[in-house]
Chains A and B, each alone.
Chain A
Amino acid sequence: MRCKLIALAMMFYGSIAVAADEQAVAENYADLAYAVYEDALITAQQLQTATDALLASPSEEGQQAAKAAWKQARVPYQQSEVFRFGNSVVDDWEGQLNAWPLDEGLIDYVASDYSFELGNEGAQLNIISRTEVNIGGEVIDMSTLTPELLASLNELAGSEANVATGYHAIEFLLWGQDLNGTSAGAGARSYTDYMAGNDCTGGNCDRRSDYLRAVTQLLVDDLVYMVNEWAPGKQDNYRSKLLAGDSQEVLDIMLFGMGSLALGELAGERLKVSLEANSPEDEHDCFSDNTHNSHFYNAQGIFNVYMGSYQRVNGEMLSGPSLADLVKAKSPATAVSVKAAFELTAKRLQIMVDRAEQTESAMKYDQMIGEGNEEGNKIIRDSILALVAETRAIEEAARAINVGNLQPDTAGHEF
């Protein structure tokens, strides 16, 4: 529970000028979110154009173009994830777009030695191969693959591994299973999986095409919704409610979101877990081997919110009043150390990206996590340590501007 009286207290004791700056920072935060989601939408529409072209006339080039568009679409989306924590409108919605890990056997054919979640009724369902399914006595008609139907199949029979929609479902449909474990190589689906008639490989090419069409449409629709929630000048959308409240609360959400993504989600769930488990099952973008970029742009998103700036996909630079400005005004020394912490993270993740992208003997993220891969393990460990230091810096920044209470004291609390 937040204490609304604080706002009142601020009016009596605080400086109105500071409050106004904080409101400007809050508004710039909403502007950033709007721009990032708009870019996510634009690139998803480009992905849709590319997949439509692939489906209209399947070819190796068409598949490459669709894969490139998918990777491009991830750039803004991964930068948007910093808005997820603290903003329930995003957190409630994002599962349909970015849920992971997924049991790909739910969607399409898989290798015979595919190791799925035992007891998961959906793990070997292969929606593409059948027109109906019986789950616990309830028959679901799947003869027409619509965006709504696919959305309703998420978490089928209660398992979170049953992910039918979102970026990773599309990724699987474009790349296919990565059967290389922690060795080199990504998924190797052939474009012929989308061919008509006798040229079709993998069976059910028509339904696979319908699936890709529907799941891409759903992604676009979902992003349209989120762009509207952050659009300026509207009544009753999330942005208007957020900015009508106490601007201190928005700053709290900003810092909470940054810390949660940096430490819990990125350093913990996505880096540390995969390193501990040495398992590609715990790799975030496991079909495309694009995980290094996924991590890099997550961190970039956190930095964006702190600096109040964002480089749009068209190259345009957006910049406005920021947390960094507030920190600098209060404590120039803190501002320097906090920025240094962000730069260290960026540098460490850049090493991960460079190693994964180098033209010869590249090492992708699923190789880095391999047991005994000292070089790869170290790249990940260094990134985790940088993110831990960055989160400490975020706490310092919060303390410097007396915002939020990311680490509340432990004395005398009752609940």
Chain B
Amino acid sequence: MWCYVRAGVITLMAAVLLACSGAEQSANTKPVKINPAAATVVATPIKHRLAQPDQQMPMMAQVDFAVGRSFFRNPWVEAPSATSARDGLGPLFNAISCASCHVASARGMAAVDGQSLLHYVVRLSVPGDKATGKAGFIAEPSYGGQLQNQAVDDVLPEGRAIIHYSDVIRRLANDEQIGLRQPSLTLDRLAYGEMVADVRRSVRLAPVLTGLGLLEAVSEQQLLAWADEDDANGDGISGRANLVWDIEAQQQKIGRFGWKAEQPSIRQQTAGAFHADLGISSELIQRQNCTAIEVTCQQTEHGGAPEINDKLLNHVTFYVANLAVPDSAVQQDGDAHRGQALFETAGCQKCHRPRLQAGESKYPWLSNRTIYPYTDLLLHDLGDELADNRAVFGANGREWRTAPLWGLGLAKKIAPGVGFLHDGRARNVLEAILWHGGEAQQSRVIVEQMTSDERSELLRFVESL
């Protein structure tokens, strides 16, 4: 949010700023806006709302943003091709562009029962302690760290992943019943033999990318200050930082991106996605994603070394880092205000921390801003039902990184079929809450005991963020 500063109105500026930033605000909550989505003619169409540059990004940076967006959105092709900057897809891959899973640069659509997964990946590993290594897990010997369900001509896709849902009923305190769907994963058409018997599989839906540059600018000290590994303060919440390998820095750093906070930076996250999801090598990850037994994969022609050059990787990283945090999609009215109090009553803010302070960013306009992402970027045990039983670096099979909640109200407006939680099982925010267990069990119980009015106020608040 910003106001025009004009000559002659300086004396009024204080009053204007007050009116813009809204009424009362407690120290730790997001400032309440008066009619934030005011019917201004400049409004961006809803579908593209999460694909806009940060409002404070300088106009001059629009070239970088546009180039990054193009390489994020447009499809990569098989090598060799006349499109040499965009060739090198595969040989094994899940998607042909970033945008094929990140719908409108945001989250993916939930899996349809019985159909091949589209906006997802399935991560693979075998048990064993690799917490201090460089990969963070031990790859499945024949299939590697991820199942690629597509391939270029002459190479066999690794297999197919399908989700089937079964119904689970949650009975709330007022006897209201909510039907949830429990996913179960089937892998078939495996082309490279059986997987090892105790393979660990983790289904991951493409997450939203809102405000990542700001989250990257939050200092490690701040995150560590919140970590409470042994629950010393006895509140039932024991957030942990995931220590992961930073390829560029060649040392351990705190992970903050990905469903288990397994990536330390947007650049590494982006290079990782190009490598594993598109089969595109980069300066950061130079190898192809073929395992030892995937011989045709190894022998296929590649699109140069690396397949995405550093300049373009940086452009895509720039694009992702500068995606804006949108204005609220839902007006913060009386219901939302009451919902905010309920959010705190239920203790949601213990992990979904409203306010963070961004430190220095390599993008100066993102530096030193107070932000309201509603996350602590730490790992928490969310219980058996959500557990994927697959560890990565320090995150165990029951732990997940607190998902940011900003912009949540836009999700279904951008694409009605989007999914929530790591595997997209939740069709809406309430379902997502009702799946919380482990450290969040107590909060969930409080929500289950609310009256239905209270629950709608809570949801109205969450969707106004």
A-to-B contact residues, CB < 8 Å = 1-6, 9-10, 12-14, 86-88, 91-92, 101, 115, 117-120, 158-161, 181-182, 238, 241-242, 245, 248-249, 252-253, 256, 259-260, 263-265, 267-269, 272-273, 276-282, 371, 384, 388, 391-392, 394-395, 402-408, 410, 413-415
Contact = CB atoms under 8 A, between A and B. Distances in A.
Contact of B40 (A160, A249, A256, A402): A249
A265 B66 contact: yes
A269 B12 contact: no
Q: Provide the main secondary structure of the chain B interface.
A: loop
Rank and list the top 4 A-B pairs by shortest CB-CB distance, nearest first.
Answer: A268-B66, A264-B62, A279-B83, A13-B8
Contact of A269 (B6, B70, B152): B70
Interface string B60-81: 1011111101110111011001
B44 interface: yes
B70 A279 contact: no
B19 A414 contact: no
Most buried by B among A3, A101, A118, A265: A118
Given A10-B9, A13-B8, A14-B8, A268 B20 contact: no
Given A119-B150, A160-B73, A391 B66 contact: no
A137 to B, nearest CB: 9
A269 B42 CA distance: 21
A314 to B, nearest CB: 30
21 contacts: A5-B20, A6-B4, A10-B9, A13-B8, A88-B43, A91-B45, A117-B75, A119-B150, A161-B75, A259-B59, A260-B62, A264-B65, A268-B62, A273-B71, A277-B86, A384-B63, A391-B60, A403-B4, A404-B4, A407-B59, A414-B371
A2 B38 contact: yes
A268 B365 CA distance: 20
Interface in B86-118: 86, 89, 95-96, 99-100, 103
Contacts of A241: 41
Interface residues of B, number: 70
Given A1-B36, A269-B69, A277-B86, A414 B96 contact: no
Contact of B41 (A10, A87, A260): A87
A115 B77 CA distance: 8
Contact of A86 (B42, B56, B312): B42
Nearest to B104: A160
Contacts of A402: 4, 6-7
Contacts, number: 197
B327 to A, nearest CB: 7
A304 to B, nearest CB: 20
B66 A410 contact: no
Nearest to A265: B66
Contacts of A269: 66-67, 69-70
Contacts of A281: 74, 83, 86
Nearest to A370: B82
Given A119-B96, A269-B66, A181 B1 contact: no
Contacts of B28: none
B204 interface: no
Contacts of B20: 1, 3, 5
Given A160-B99, A405-B2, A263 B59 contact: yes
Interface in B150-174: 150, 152
A272 B63 contact: yes
B31 interface: yes
Contacts of A101: 74
A156 to B, nearest CB: 14
B135 to A, nearest CB: 28
Nearest to B31: A414
B55 interface: yes
B9 A264 contact: no
Given A5-B15, A278-B82, A391-B62, 4 more contacts: A87-B41, A115-B78, A281-B74, A282-B83
A14 B3 CA distance: 17
Nearest to B406: A415
A262 B4 CA distance: 23
A368 to B, nearest CB: 15
Contact of A268 (B19, B63, B74, B152): B63
Contacts of B66: 263-265, 267-269, 272-273
B190 interface: no
B84 A9 contact: no
A305 B59 CA distance: 18
B238 to A, nearest CB: 30
A6 B89 CA distance: 52
Nearest to A13: B8
B1 A413 contact: yes
A279 B85 CA distance: 8
Most buried by B among A91, A256, A276: A276
A415 B1 contact: yes
A273 B4 CA distance: 33
B375 to A, nearest CB: 16
A410 B56 contact: yes
Contacts of B83: 115, 277-279, 281-282
B128 interface: no
Contact of B84 (A117, A120, A278, A408): A278
A408 B55 contact: yes
B9 to A, nearest CB: 4
Nearest to A88: B43
B389 interface: no
B65 A268 contact: yes
A86 B59 CA distance: 14
A88 B371 CA distance: 28
A407 B58 contact: yes
B6 A6 contact: yes
Contact of A13 (B12, B78, B96): B12
Nearest to A269: B66
Given A268-B67, A276-B312, A410-B365, A415 B327 contact: yes
Contacts of B86: 277, 279, 281
Contact of B19 (A5, A249, A392, A405): A5
B369 interface: yes
A209 B89 CA distance: 37
Most buried by A among B16, B33, B42, B78: B42
Most buried by B among A267, A395, A405, A413: A413
Interface in B323-347: 325, 327
B364 interface: yes
A101 B77 CA distance: 15
B21 interface: yes
B372 interface: yes
